[in-house]
Amino acid sequence: MKIKLISGTSNPELAEELSNYLNLPLTPVEVKKFIDGELYCRIKQSVRGSHIFVLQPTSSDANQNLMELLILVDALRRASAEEITAVIPYYGYARQDRKSGNREPITAKLVANLIITAGIHRVVTFDLHVGQIQGFFDIPLDNLEAMPLLAEYILKKKIKDIVVVSPDAGGTARARKMAELLNASLAIIDKRRPRPNESKIMHIIGEVKNKTAILVDDMIDTGNTMVNSAIALIDKGVNDVYVCATHAVLSGDSIQKMDSSPIKEIITTNTVRIPPEKRIEKLKIISVAPLLAESIRRIYEGTPMGVLFEGIYDKLSKMRE
């Protein structure tokens, strides 16, 4: 069974990196819009009997990119592709993973249903908003970790007296994992969210004075949480504040807010395409392409994935010594 790599329009730069690492040319596709906004997709090369990896993060515009993924998959299925793996580095709609109020949807499950119905056989993603979303899928899902890549960058900086900070109680497990990777202490911010995309800092739990804070989250959207958390930490005597997040959604004027805030550096990955105008000096982008390419190779060859991450953790362990 041949392997083929296809990219939607959401993150063409990451697709090119993957193509180079895998030494696998991108299979050409045609994606265009009708005047009313309706999408048209066509595969421009035979894919019969092939294992297809389709790269398409469902970031902004989330609705268009999700629909483009589904239409591409439908085209592949009707073109007799043998197996289709959707590589979705950023899984959109993941924040709506449960009902927290009356008459609310669970769109993380809805999107999972759409993906399965479209004919996708496997999903590869990075750092789901909550791990339980894996249970929404009745097909194999690989939830890869970008945190070791972020931890490696921080360890190379040789920062002293680190405290890893979770910006809310829900992210404690994620922050604890980063604290273990960095051999650092842990603090938690007690945050209230009166409505979506708004946050209010209440208390900081843990010792942070005279330390360097590493704020850890899975994504940065409006930037309000990170900016408010950084200000609160500085007020509590923190020396410097670094921000670490896998997905840089960076909606609206988020990057401008963080640029003018006390945040010293923003460390993220390229799971979401970051346009040139948002690549400020404070922003450090770490590519997930090498890790993703090796994961794709192992999925195609049917070899274990765990060995790959064991090597990464061994490397971090040696860096801490």
**Catalytically active residues, by annotation:** 191
31 and 80 in contact (C-beta within 8 Å)?
A: no
Distance, in Å, from the CA atom of 205 to the CA atom of 176, rounded to the nearest integer, reads 14
96 and 136 in contact (C-beta within 8 Å)?
A: no
Distance, in Å, from the CA atom of 109 to the CA atom of 18, rounded to the nearest integer, reads 28
Residue identified by tokens 């043998």 is 82
Burial class (CB in 10 A: 0-12, 13-18, 19+), 302: exposed
Burial class (CB in 10 A: 0-12, 13-18, 19+), 166: buried
Supply 180's token pair. 């273990």
Of 118, 50, 123, whose CA–CA distance to 85 is shortest?
Answer: 123
Number of H helices, E strands in the chain: 9, 14
